[in-house]
Amino acid sequence: MDTLEEENLALFFSSASDAEFDAVVGYLEDIIMDDEFQLLQRNFMDKYYQGLKTQRINSPIFNEYISLVEKYIEKQLLEWIPGFNEVAGDIFNMLLTFTDFLDFKVMFLDYRAEKEGRGLDLSSGLVVTSLCKSPTMPASQNNLWH
């Protein structure tokens, strides 16, 4: 059974409110994975990351971020889901329980480290090895792959 069939079967057996909630969560996933949302976040962090010290990521900046993200998500959901404003309060109250100032601070500090070239670089420790024989490699070297 492919993923689409599984999703349709799940929707068939779920209640209308479950289906509505699942649809909103699906839209939320699409929204936050979209390039436009990623750009919104990067622009916000670009605005503040240089002037911040570790201890200076504070509530007003966090509140501004939450407000910006909330307005963006609400606007997108209102465009994609007719009548969404009727359930928006419940959904946003639930979403706000997932927001955490410490997670926000870590996100900002990681972004700052990346922008300053201090990000974690694991590329030198990665090695790619083929698990099958290469038809273009001489037979004497193919033995090394076993």
Domain ranges of the chain: 3-119
**Whole-number Cα distances in Å, 102 to 10, 66, 97:** 36, 13, 13
CATH classification number, 3-119, choose in 3.90.1310.10, 3.40.50.1220, 1.20.1520.10, 3.30.390.30: 1.20.1520.10
Q: Which of 13-17, 36-40, 71-75 has the highest mean pLDDT?
A: 36-40
Contact call for residues 48 and 115 (beta carbons, < 8 A): no
CB atoms within 10 A of CB 61: 20
pTM exceeding 0.75: no
d(CA 81, CA 24): 8
Q: What is the pLDDT of residues 97-140, one digit of tens each?
A: 567 788 888 888 888 888 888 876 666 666 666 676 655 555 55
pLDDT at 142 over 90: no
